[in-house]
Protein backbone atom coordinates (compact mmCIF):
# COMPACT_ATOMS: atom_id res chain seq x y z
CA UNK A 1 0.00 0.00 0.00
CA UNK A 2 1.15 3.53 -0.80
CA UNK A 3 -0.07 5.76 2.02
CA UNK A 4 -0.13 9.51 1.34
CA UNK A 5 -0.48 11.23 4.69
CA UNK A 6 -0.40 14.80 3.34
CA UNK A 7 -1.43 16.05 -0.09
CA UNK A 8 1.80 17.80 -1.06
CA UNK A 9 3.86 14.64 -0.54
CA UNK A 10 1.65 12.89 -3.10
CA UNK A 11 2.07 15.49 -5.84
CA UNK A 12 4.14 13.23 -8.16
CA UNK A 13 1.57 10.46 -7.85
CA UNK A 14 -1.34 12.81 -8.57
CA UNK A 15 0.45 14.08 -11.69
CA UNK A 16 1.10 10.50 -12.82
CA UNK A 17 -2.60 9.68 -12.43
CA UNK A 18 -3.71 12.71 -14.46
CA UNK A 19 -3.37 10.82 -17.77
CA UNK A 20 -6.02 8.41 -19.10
CA UNK A 21 -3.29 6.38 -20.84
CA UNK A 22 -1.36 5.97 -17.59
CA UNK A 23 -4.54 4.85 -15.83
CA UNK A 24 -4.99 2.24 -18.59
CA UNK A 25 -1.41 1.05 -18.06
CA UNK A 26 -2.08 0.61 -14.33
CA UNK A 27 -5.28 -1.32 -15.11
CA UNK A 28 -3.32 -3.64 -17.42
CA UNK A 29 -0.68 -4.28 -14.77
CA UNK A 30 -3.36 -4.83 -12.13
CA UNK A 31 -4.81 -7.72 -14.15
CA UNK A 32 -1.43 -9.13 -15.27
CA UNK A 33 1.45 -9.97 -12.98
CA UNK A 34 3.99 -8.36 -15.34
CA UNK A 35 4.11 -6.99 -18.89
CA UNK A 36 6.97 -5.78 -21.05
CA UNK A 37 6.89 -2.49 -22.95
CA UNK A 38 6.01 -4.14 -26.27
CA UNK A 39 3.03 -5.92 -24.72
CA UNK A 40 1.72 -2.71 -23.14
CA UNK A 41 2.15 -0.75 -26.37
CA UNK A 42 0.40 -3.45 -28.40
CA UNK A 43 -2.58 -3.72 -26.06
CA UNK A 44 -3.09 0.05 -26.01
CA UNK A 45 -2.49 0.49 -29.78
CA UNK A 46 0.38 2.91 -29.21
CA UNK A 47 3.98 3.10 -30.36
CA UNK A 48 6.83 2.09 -28.07
CA UNK A 49 8.03 5.68 -28.10
CA UNK A 50 4.69 6.99 -26.85
CA UNK A 51 4.48 4.36 -24.11
CA UNK A 52 8.02 4.99 -22.86
CA UNK A 53 7.22 8.51 -21.66
CA UNK A 54 4.16 7.33 -19.71
CA UNK A 55 6.06 4.41 -18.19
CA UNK A 56 8.81 6.78 -17.04
CA UNK A 57 6.30 9.03 -15.22
CA UNK A 58 4.69 6.02 -13.51
CA UNK A 59 8.09 4.68 -12.45
CA UNK A 60 9.25 8.07 -11.13
CA UNK A 61 6.08 8.37 -9.05
CA UNK A 62 6.66 4.96 -7.44
CA UNK A 63 3.45 3.46 -8.80
CA UNK A 64 5.25 0.86 -10.92
CA UNK A 65 8.57 -0.93 -10.83
CA UNK A 66 10.68 -1.92 -13.84
CA UNK A 67 13.10 -4.85 -13.89
CA UNK A 68 15.37 -5.79 -16.77
CA UNK A 69 15.37 -9.47 -17.74
CA UNK A 70 17.05 -11.49 -20.47
CA UNK A 71 14.71 -13.62 -22.60
CA UNK A 72 14.60 -15.37 -25.96
CA UNK A 73 14.22 -12.03 -27.73
CA UNK A 74 17.01 -10.26 -25.88
CA UNK A 75 16.84 -7.81 -23.00
CA UNK A 76 13.31 -6.87 -21.93
CA UNK A 77 12.02 -4.29 -19.49
CA UNK A 78 9.31 -5.90 -17.37
CA UNK A 79 6.78 -3.63 -15.64
CA UNK A 80 5.06 -4.47 -12.34
CA UNK A 81 2.68 -2.67 -10.01
CA UNK A 82 4.78 -1.46 -7.09
CA UNK A 83 1.86 -1.64 -4.61
CA UNK A 84 -1.71 -2.88 -4.93
CA UNK A 85 -3.41 -0.10 -2.93
CA UNK A 86 -3.22 3.69 -2.73
CA UNK A 87 -4.60 5.54 0.28
CA UNK A 88 -4.79 9.33 0.66
CA UNK A 89 -5.51 10.96 4.01
CA UNK A 90 -7.28 14.21 3.03
CA UNK A 91 -7.59 15.44 6.60
CA UNK A 92 -4.07 14.79 7.80
CA UNK A 93 -2.56 17.80 9.57
CA UNK A 94 0.40 18.50 11.80
CA UNK A 95 2.42 15.75 10.12
CA UNK A 96 5.39 16.62 12.33
CA UNK A 97 3.40 15.51 15.38
CA UNK A 98 3.87 11.80 14.86
CA UNK A 99 6.35 9.03 15.38
CA UNK A 100 6.76 5.62 13.78
CA UNK A 101 8.34 2.40 14.96
CA UNK A 102 9.06 -0.78 13.01
CA UNK A 103 8.64 -3.95 15.04
CA UNK A 104 10.06 -7.20 13.79
CA UNK A 105 7.47 -9.97 13.50
CA UNK A 106 9.18 -12.11 16.12
CA UNK A 107 9.20 -9.35 18.76
CA UNK A 108 5.81 -10.28 20.18
CA UNK A 109 5.40 -9.97 23.96
CA UNK A 110 2.62 -12.54 24.38
CA UNK A 111 1.14 -15.35 22.33
CA UNK A 112 -1.28 -18.26 22.27
CA UNK A 113 -0.96 -20.62 19.32
CA UNK A 114 -2.77 -23.67 17.92
CA UNK A 115 -1.30 -25.78 15.06
CA UNK A 116 -0.88 -25.67 12.17
CA UNK A 117 1.73 -23.15 13.26
CA UNK A 118 5.35 -22.18 12.91
CA UNK A 119 7.80 -19.38 12.43
CA UNK A 120 10.99 -18.76 10.47
CA UNK A 121 13.87 -16.32 10.17
CA UNK A 122 15.13 -15.20 6.78
CA UNK A 123 17.63 -18.07 7.01
CA UNK A 124 15.70 -21.07 8.32
CA UNK A 125 12.65 -22.54 10.07
CA UNK A 126 12.75 -22.18 13.86
CA UNK A 127 12.39 -25.64 15.42
CA UNK A 128 9.73 -27.91 13.93
CA UNK A 129 6.52 -27.27 12.05
CA UNK A 130 3.29 -27.36 14.10
CA UNK A 131 4.97 -27.28 17.52
CA UNK A 132 3.78 -24.25 19.56
CA UNK A 133 6.69 -24.64 22.00
CA UNK A 134 9.03 -22.97 19.50
CA UNK A 135 7.11 -19.71 19.81
CA UNK A 136 9.03 -19.36 23.11
CA UNK A 137 12.40 -20.18 21.55
CA UNK A 138 14.93 -17.35 22.06
CA UNK A 139 15.59 -17.37 18.32
CA UNK A 140 12.00 -16.25 17.72
CA UNK A 141 13.03 -12.57 18.06
CA UNK A 142 14.61 -12.94 14.60
CA UNK A 143 11.44 -14.40 13.04
CA UNK A 144 10.20 -12.63 9.93
CA UNK A 145 7.21 -14.84 9.21
CA UNK A 146 4.82 -16.67 11.53
CA UNK A 147 1.58 -18.58 11.13
CA UNK A 148 -1.11 -20.12 13.34
CA UNK A 149 -4.57 -21.66 13.02
CA UNK A 150 -6.16 -20.22 16.18
CA UNK A 151 -4.84 -17.92 18.87
CA UNK A 152 -2.98 -14.61 18.80
CA UNK A 153 0.28 -12.74 19.00
CA UNK A 154 0.60 -9.45 20.88
CA UNK A 155 3.11 -6.62 20.49
CA UNK A 156 4.10 -3.82 22.86
CA UNK A 157 4.18 -0.39 21.22
CA UNK A 158 6.33 2.34 22.82
CA UNK A 159 4.46 5.35 24.18
CA UNK A 160 6.65 8.44 23.73
CA UNK A 161 4.01 11.08 24.53
CA UNK A 162 4.67 13.80 27.10
CA UNK A 163 2.25 14.98 29.77
CA UNK A 164 1.09 17.95 27.63
CA UNK A 165 0.30 15.78 24.59
CA UNK A 166 -2.65 13.57 23.69
CA UNK A 167 -3.32 10.81 21.18
CA UNK A 168 -5.04 11.78 17.92
CA UNK A 169 -4.74 8.53 15.97
CA UNK A 170 -2.88 5.21 16.16
CA UNK A 171 -2.12 3.19 13.04
CA UNK A 172 -0.79 -0.29 12.38
CA UNK A 173 0.36 -1.48 8.96
CA UNK A 174 1.43 -5.05 8.14
CA UNK A 175 1.14 -7.83 5.55
CA UNK A 176 -1.41 -10.52 6.44
CA UNK A 177 -3.05 -13.64 5.05
CA UNK A 178 -4.87 -16.80 6.13
CA UNK A 179 -3.15 -20.10 7.02
CA UNK A 180 -3.88 -23.23 5.00
CA UNK A 181 -1.90 -26.47 4.82
CA UNK A 182 0.44 -25.60 1.95
CA UNK A 183 -1.54 -22.74 0.45
CA UNK A 184 -5.06 -22.04 -0.78
CA UNK A 185 -5.94 -18.77 -2.51
CA UNK A 186 -9.62 -19.24 -1.60
CA UNK A 187 -9.43 -19.76 2.18
CA UNK A 188 -11.25 -16.96 4.05
CA UNK A 189 -10.26 -16.28 7.64
CA UNK A 190 -11.48 -13.67 10.15
CA UNK A 191 -8.50 -11.88 11.70
CA UNK A 192 -9.34 -9.79 14.79
CA UNK A 193 -7.49 -6.72 16.08
CA UNK A 194 -7.23 -5.40 19.67
CA UNK A 195 -5.71 -2.32 21.28
CA UNK A 196 -5.02 -2.65 25.02
CA UNK A 197 -7.37 -5.62 25.14
CA UNK A 198 -10.27 -3.78 23.48
CA UNK A 199 -11.53 -5.44 20.31
CA UNK A 200 -11.40 -3.03 17.36
CA UNK A 201 -13.03 -5.33 14.82
CA UNK A 202 -11.87 -7.82 12.24
CA UNK A 203 -10.91 -8.25 8.60
CA UNK A 204 -11.67 -11.35 6.53
CA UNK A 205 -8.56 -12.44 4.67
CA UNK A 206 -9.66 -13.97 1.34
CA UNK A 207 -6.95 -16.61 1.25
CA UNK A 208 -3.52 -18.01 1.96
CA UNK A 209 -1.81 -16.96 -1.25
CA UNK A 210 0.76 -19.10 -3.03
CA UNK A 211 0.09 -18.91 -6.76
CA UNK A 212 3.24 -16.86 -7.38
CA UNK A 213 6.44 -16.52 -5.40
CA UNK A 214 6.60 -13.72 -2.85
CA UNK A 215 8.82 -10.86 -3.99
CA UNK A 216 11.00 -10.84 -0.86
CA UNK A 217 10.94 -14.53 0.07
CA UNK A 218 14.39 -16.04 0.66
CA UNK A 219 15.58 -18.56 -1.93
CA UNK A 220 15.22 -21.51 0.46
CA UNK A 221 11.50 -20.89 1.19
CA UNK A 222 9.60 -23.87 -0.35
CA UNK A 223 7.36 -23.07 -3.36
CA UNK A 224 4.53 -25.31 -2.06
CA UNK A 225 4.02 -23.07 1.02
CA UNK A 226 2.23 -19.71 1.27
CA UNK A 227 4.10 -16.93 -0.50
CA UNK A 228 2.54 -13.54 0.22
CA UNK A 229 -0.33 -11.69 1.90
CA UNK A 230 -2.17 -8.37 1.63
CA UNK A 231 -0.94 -5.12 3.14
CA UNK A 232 -3.50 -3.81 5.64
CA UNK A 233 -3.70 -0.45 7.43
CA UNK A 234 -5.60 -0.44 10.73
CA UNK A 235 -6.48 3.00 12.17
CA UNK A 236 -8.17 4.02 15.41
CA UNK A 237 -9.02 7.64 16.14
CA UNK A 238 -11.78 9.79 17.66
CA UNK A 239 -14.30 8.73 15.03
CA UNK A 240 -13.92 4.95 15.21
CA UNK A 241 -11.77 2.06 14.00
CA UNK A 242 -10.97 1.48 10.33
CA UNK A 243 -9.11 -0.88 8.02
CA UNK A 244 -7.99 0.53 4.68
CA UNK A 245 -10.40 3.41 5.24
CA UNK A 246 -13.46 1.18 5.86
CA UNK A 247 -15.10 1.32 9.29
CA UNK A 248 -14.82 -1.95 11.24
CA UNK A 249 -16.29 -0.68 14.53
CA UNK A 250 -17.33 2.43 16.46
CA UNK A 251 -14.57 1.93 19.06
CA UNK A 252 -12.68 5.21 19.54
CA UNK A 253 -9.48 6.25 21.29
CA UNK A 254 -11.54 7.97 23.99
CA UNK A 255 -13.29 4.70 24.84
CA UNK A 256 -9.93 3.02 25.39
CA UNK A 257 -8.82 5.90 27.62
CA UNK A 258 -5.17 6.39 26.66
CA UNK A 259 -2.80 9.00 28.05
CA UNK A 260 0.94 9.59 28.13
CA UNK A 261 1.39 6.98 30.90
CA UNK A 262 -0.53 4.22 29.12
CA UNK A 263 1.05 1.01 28.00
CA UNK A 264 0.16 0.22 24.38
CA UNK A 265 -0.44 -3.36 23.25
CA UNK A 266 -1.57 -4.43 19.79
CA UNK A 267 -2.99 -7.96 19.50
CA UNK A 268 -4.10 -9.77 16.36
CA UNK A 269 -5.29 -13.30 15.82
CA UNK A 270 -8.10 -15.71 15.07
CA UNK A 271 -10.65 -15.47 17.88
CA UNK A 272 -12.87 -18.24 19.26
CA UNK A 273 -15.97 -16.37 18.07
CA UNK A 274 -14.69 -16.10 14.48
CA UNK A 275 -17.04 -17.49 11.82
CA UNK A 276 -14.14 -18.25 9.48
CA UNK A 277 -11.40 -19.91 11.54
CA UNK A 278 -8.77 -20.48 8.89
CA UNK A 279 -5.72 -19.10 10.57
CA UNK A 280 -3.37 -16.17 10.17
CA UNK A 281 0.03 -15.57 8.60
CA UNK A 282 2.11 -12.45 9.27
CA UNK A 283 4.83 -11.55 6.77
CA UNK A 284 7.88 -9.52 7.77
CA UNK A 285 10.60 -7.66 5.92
CA UNK A 286 12.20 -10.65 4.17
CA UNK A 287 8.97 -12.44 3.22
CA UNK A 288 5.91 -11.65 1.13
CA UNK A 289 5.49 -8.77 -1.30
CA UNK A 290 6.00 -5.60 0.74
CA UNK A 291 9.41 -5.70 2.40
CA UNK A 292 8.30 -4.34 5.77
CA UNK A 293 7.75 -5.44 9.35
CA UNK A 294 4.88 -4.34 11.61
CA UNK A 295 4.78 -0.55 11.36
CA UNK A 296 3.14 1.34 14.23
CA UNK A 297 2.46 5.07 13.81
CA UNK A 298 1.24 7.41 16.56
CA UNK A 299 -0.26 10.80 15.68
CA UNK A 300 -0.64 13.22 18.57
CA UNK A 301 -1.36 16.86 19.41
CA UNK A 302 -0.95 19.30 22.25
CA UNK A 303 -3.66 19.26 24.89
CA UNK A 304 -6.20 22.06 24.56
CA UNK A 305 -5.47 23.57 27.96
CA UNK A 306 -1.74 23.56 27.20
CA UNK A 307 -2.32 25.45 23.93
CA UNK A 308 -4.57 28.01 25.61
CA UNK A 309 -2.27 28.51 28.60
Query: Mean per-residue pLDDT for 93-115?
Result: 90
Q: Do 282 and 138 share a structural domain? A: yes
Residue 72: what pLDDT? 65
Question: Residue 309: what pLDDT?
Answer: 44
Instruction: Return the half-sphere exposure (C-beta side, CA atoms, 13 A cut-off) of residue 307.
Output: 6
Q: Are residues 202 and 263 in the same domain?
A: yes
Q: What is the pLDDT of residues 147-164, one digit of tens each?
A: 999 999 999 999 999 999
Answer whether residue 285 shows pLDDT above 80: yes
pLDDT band, residue 49 (cuts 50/70/90): confident
Is 284:145 a contact under the CB 8 Å cutoff? yes
For residue 87, tell me if it sits in a domain. no
> Cβ of 90: how many Cβ atoms within 10 Å?
7
Q: For position 306, what pLDDT does the model report?
A: 46
Compute the average pLDDT of residues 184-213: 97
Do the domain assignments include residue 86?
Answer: no
Tell whether 57 and 205 lie within a shared domain.
Answer: no
pLDDT band at 84 (very low <50, low <70, confident <90, very high): confident
Q: Quote the mean pLDDT of the chain.
A: 91
Residue range 174-199: mean pLDDT, rounded: 97
The answer as to whether 58 is a domain residue is yes
Task: Convert 108-127 to b/e letters by CB count within 10 Å (16 or more is b).
Answer: beebebebebbbbbbeebbb
- Residue 161 shares a structural domain with residue 286: yes
- Count of the separate structural domains present in the chain: 2
Q: With H, G, I as helix, E, B as strand and everything else as coil, classify residue 102.
A: strand
**Among 7-11, 132-136, 165-169, which is the least confidently predicted range?**
7-11
Distance CA 260, CA 159 (A): 7
Structural domain for 35, as ranges: 2-81
Q: Which of 23, 86, 91 is nearest to 57 (CA)?
A: 23
Tell whether the model's pLDDT for residue 253 goes beyond 90.
Answer: yes
Answer whether residue 205 shows pLDDT above 60: yes
Question: Does residue 135 lie in a domain region?
Answer: yes
- The terminus-to-terminus CA distance of the chain in angstroms comes to 40
For residues 17-26, give the mean pLDDT: 92
Give the pLDDT confidence score for residue 304 in this predicted structure: 77
The domain that contains 17 carries what CATH number? 1.10.10.10
What percentage of the chain exceeds 70 in pLDDT? 93
Q: Is the pLDDT reported for residue 248 higher than 90?
A: yes
Domain membership of residue 160 (yes or no) is: yes
Percent of the chain with pLDDT over 90: 75
- Taking only the tens place, the pLDDT of each residue in 22-43 is 999 999 998 887 899 999 999 9
Show Cβ contacts of residue 302 under 8 Å, excluding neighbours closer than 6 positions: 164, 165, 166
Same domain, 165 and 239: yes
Q: Cβ contacts of residue 31 below 8 Å, gap of 6+?
A: none
Q: How far apart are CA 290 and CA 165, in angstroms?
A: 33
- Coil, strand or helix: which one is 136? helix
Residue 244 counted as domain residue: yes
In which band, very low, low, confident or very high, does the pLDDT at 8 lie, cut at 50, 70 and 90? low
DSSP code of residue 185 = S
Shared-domain flag, residues 204 and 70: no
CATH code where residue 138 lies: 2.60.120
Amino acid sequence: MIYIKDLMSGLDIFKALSSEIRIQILELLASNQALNLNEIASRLNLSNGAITMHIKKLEDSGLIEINTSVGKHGIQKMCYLNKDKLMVDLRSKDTENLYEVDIQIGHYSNYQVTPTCGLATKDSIIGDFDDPRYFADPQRIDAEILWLTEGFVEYRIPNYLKSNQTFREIQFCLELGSEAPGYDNNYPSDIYFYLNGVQLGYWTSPGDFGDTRGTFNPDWWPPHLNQYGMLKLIRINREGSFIDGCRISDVTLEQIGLDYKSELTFRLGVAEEAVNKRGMTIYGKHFGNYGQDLMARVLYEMKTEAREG
